[in-house]
Amino acid sequence: MSDPRQRPVLDMTPEGEFRDPPRPSRLDLLLARTGGIAVLVLLATGGLVLAAVAVFFAALLLPVVVAAGVVAFVSLWWRARRLRRQGLDPRVFRVVVRR
């Protein structure tokens, strides 16, 4: 029923029994199986592409994370150095967060 305006056909024998629909041809079965495999390959490939895009964006953010870590390390190192110059123990300094 490819056309929605077409009415269904009831195929009956003279005795009033319904006939079975005709069996699909070998070509139809082959094309259906091939189409199903193609859909599975499409889904698998799409998943791999999404994973690759996620890895790509994570790789783009990696230098930002490294740079922020270096800045934080240098800031803490500089504060500890200043405390040592003042004669204080650098292991007990406080980090103040301003809002």
Is residue 66 pLDDT above 90, yes or no? yes
Contact between 83 and 95 (Cβ < 8 Å): no
Mean pLDDT of 12-32: 88
The DSSP-derived string for 20-79 is PPPPPPHHHHHHHHHHHHHHHHHHHHHHHHHHHHHHHHHHHHHHHHHHHHHHHHHHHHHH
Comparing 62 with 8, which gets the higher pLDDT? 62
pLDDT at 99: 78
Is residue 46 pLDDT above 90, yes or no? yes
| Percent of the chain whose pLDDT exceeds 70 | 93
pLDDT at 42: 98
Structure tokens at 78: 């500089």
